[in-house]
């Protein structure tokens, strides 16, 4: 009998064993699997709460009106 259970034979026992003996692997896989699954919950919740996507993202920085001051004091000598 091996000390670690087989995943396909006893999945819940293996998950419990992995959470105790290899927590970094176990929880990183849990978080990684929860990411795509959260789309089904997050998107409808944001719509329900009134979040609106910005339809147009600014592509340039606004240029100030009037003359631009010339910087001084940066000359190499």
43, exposed or middle or buried, with CB in 10 Å at 0-12, 13-18, 19+? exposed
The Cα 14–Cα 6 span in angstroms is: 6
Up-side HSE of residue 23: CA atoms within 13 Å toward CB?
1
**Segment 25-75, tens digit of pLDDT:** 999 999 999 988 898 888 889 889 988 877 787 788 888 888 888 888 877
**Given pLDDT bands bounded at 50, 70 and 90, which one contains residue 77?**
low
How many helices, marked H, and strands, marked E, lie in the chain?
Answer: 3, 0
Residue 21: predicted pLDDT? 93
The pTM of the full predicted model, rounded to 2 decimals, is: 0.50
């Amino acid at each position: 009998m091996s000390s670690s259970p087989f995943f396909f034979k006893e999945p819940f026992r293996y998950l419990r064993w992995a959470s105790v003996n290899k927590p970094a692997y176990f929880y990183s896989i849990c978080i990684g699997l929860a990411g795509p699954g959260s789309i089904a919950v997050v998107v409808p919740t944001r719509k329900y709460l009134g979040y609106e996507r910005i339809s147009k993202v600014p592509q340039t920085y606004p240029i100030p009106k009037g003359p631009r001051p010339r910087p001084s004091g940066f000359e190499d000598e």
